[in-house]
Amino acid sequence: MQIETVFVIMQIKKTDIRKVILEVSGKEFLEHGFKDASMRTIAKKSDVSLGNIYNYFKNKDEIFTQILSVPVSLLNKVNNLFNDEYFFDIENIRNGKIKQLKFTYSIKFICNYRDELKLLLFKAHGSSLHDFKDNWIDKNTEASIEWLKKYNNIHSKKVQASEFFIHYLNSSYVNFITEILMHDIHKNKMIEYLKEYFEYSFHGWQKVIEK
C-alpha cells in the first residue's frame, strides 16, 4: 500500500441543491401537508429531476425530518432546562419570574421556527413525525407531573389536579401556539396575546392550586 501525495481537484457547488430541495419541499409540505405533497411537484419546482432528489435524500420522509431536525431536537431538550431547583422555589412562582422565563423562551422559539412548528403541528400526517404534537404534549405533561410531585414534596400546601387536567393545560399551551401560527400573528401582537394567555392561564391555575 503506497502513500502518495496527490493533487485533487474538487468541485464545490455554490448553489446547494440540497438547500433548494429542502426549501421547496418545505413550502409544498406547508401548502398540502406531508402526505399530499407530491415528489413530482417538488422535483419540478426545485428544477431537479425526480430521480436526482433521491441522490440527496433517502425518501420523502427524510426530507421532512431534515427540515425539522433542529426544532425537534431543541424541543426534546427543552424540559431539561426547567429541571433546576430555581423552578421549585415558591417565591419564584408567586412573583412571576418563572412565568417570565417561559414566556420569553416561548416567544423566541415561535418566532424562530414558525413554519417548522406549523409543519410539526398540522402538516405531519403520514410522516414519521405524525405524532409529534401528541408526543410534545405528553412530554410536557410528564414534566409538569414530575414538577408537581416535587412541589408537593417540598411544600405543605398540596396542589391537587387530575393528570388529565394537567394534560389539558399542556395541550392548551400547545394549542395556543397553534392558534398563533394558524392566524399568522406577528411578533408584537403575539407578545401581547401571549401575555393575555399567561395571565389567564396563571389565574385559572392559581385558583386550582388554592382550592
Partner DNA sequence: TATGAATGAGTCTTCATTCAT
Partner DNA sequence: CATGAATGAAGACTCATTCAT
User: What does the binding site for a second copy look like in residue numbers (CB under 8 A)?
Assistant: 1-15, 33, 35-36, 125-126, 134, 161-162, 164-165, 167-169, 171-172, 175-176, 178-179, 182-183, 185, 189, 192-193, 196-197, 199-208, 211
Instruction: Report the residue number, 12 or 207, with the smaller CB distance to DNA.
Output: 12
- Residue 7 sits in the site that holds DNA (CB under 7 A): no
Q: Which three cell numbers stand for residue 202?
A: 396563571
- Residue 11 sits in the site that holds DNA (CB under 7 A): yes
User: DSSP for 157-205?
Assistant: S-----HHHHHHHHHHHHHHHHHHHHTT--HHHHHHHHHHHHHHHHHHH
Q: Which three cell numbers stand for residue 141?
A: 405533561
Cα torsion 188, 99, 211, 178: sign: positive
Q: Which three cell numbers stand for residue 200?
A: 389567564
Instruction: Report 123-162 residues binding DNA (CB under 7 A).
Output: none
What is the nearest approach in angstroms of DNA to the Cβ of residue 143? Answer: 34
Q: Whole-angstrom Cα distance, residue 70 to residue 13?
A: 24
- Residue 40 sits in the site that holds DNA (CB under 7 A): yes
User: DSSP for 47-65?
Assistant: TS-HHHHHHH-SSHHHHHH
52 contact choice in a second copy, DNA, none (CB below 5 to 8 Å, kind-dependent): DNA
- Residue 1 sits in the site that holds DNA (CB under 7 A): yes
What is the nearest approach in angstroms of a second copy to the Cβ of residue 90? Answer: 20
Q: What is the DSSP code (8-state) at residue 14?
A: S
Query: Interface with DNA by CB under 7 A: which residues?
Result: 1, 3, 5, 8-11, 13, 17, 36-41, 48-52, 54-56, 58-61
